Amino acid sequence: MLWRRVIMLGIFVLLTLIVVITRFYLSVQNEHWDANSKAVETAYEKTILTKATKVDSFYGDEPFQIIRGEDKIGQQVVVWISDKEVHTEVAAEAFTEDQVRETMLKKDPAIETLRILPGKLGSQYVWEVFYKKQEAKGLRYYYDYYTFKEGTYIDTYRLSLQ
């Protein structure tokens, strides 16, 4: 009889823990999901975007929600949304993510690209490339920036060794 009570208590504690962790996760993520939803709504209202396919957060000089999607005729567009501005670019008129990847491979085949994301650096709309590279002294992470439209190299930020 005692082992049944221990098993029942264990199941109760486990289920309670699962419920608490799930509710905590949802409460933490709701703010992020709400910000993404508001950014998409703003993009629908203020730009040519009619279908959002991906939303990312970019944190530079000011935070942006980056929305990728399509306009009403099916063209791929990228929209930058911040508290201060809304900016739209037609993807076909810009350097593509694949071209950025290709540029990084040409730069150094030994790097491992972790993320490529549109963003804004100063007053320029950019591609931000986050990558890592094994060096003689250890693993190092980098951010490279390329102009969004032309793919011209702007700068590299080097993080400390790992």
Token pair 């608490």 in the structure block, residue:
20
Instruction: Please spell the DSSP secondary structure of 109-134, one letter per residue.
Output: TT-EEEEEEEEEETTEEEEEEEEEEE
pTM beyond 0.85: no
* DSSP state at residue 110: T
Q: Identify whether the C-beta of residue 127 lies closer than 8 Å to the C-beta of residue 146.
A: yes
Would you kindly state where each structural domain of the chain is located, as residue ranges?
Answer: 2-92, 97-161
Q: Is the dihedral of CA 15, 21, 27, 30 positive or negative?
A: negative
Residue 49 CA to chain centroid, in angstroms?
19
Evaluate whether the domain defined by 97-161 bears CATH number 3.10.450.40: yes
Side-chain half-sphere exposure of 22, counting CA atoms within 13 A: 6
Q: Identify whether the C-beta of residue 91 lies closer than 8 Å to the C-beta of residue 143.
A: no
Pairwise CA distance, residues 89 & 120, whole Å: 13
Pairing label, strands 138-147, 63-71: unpaired
Q: What is the dihedral of CA 20, 24, 27, 28, to 10 degrees?
A: -170
Domain formed by 2-92, architecture = Roll (3.10)
**pLDDT per residue rounded down to tens, the chain (162 residues):** 788 888 999 999 999 999 999 999 888 888 878 888 999 999 999 999 999 999 999 998 899 999 999 999 999 999 999 999 999 999 999 999 999 999 999 999 999 999 999 999 999 999 999 999 998 888 999 999 999 999 999 999 999 876
Identify the pLDDT of residue 34: 84
Return the closest-CA partner of residue 116 out of 138, 135, 93, 94.
94
84 burial type by CB count under 10 A (0-12 exposed, 13-18 middle, 19+ buried): exposed
Judge whether 2-92 and 97-161 match in fold. yes
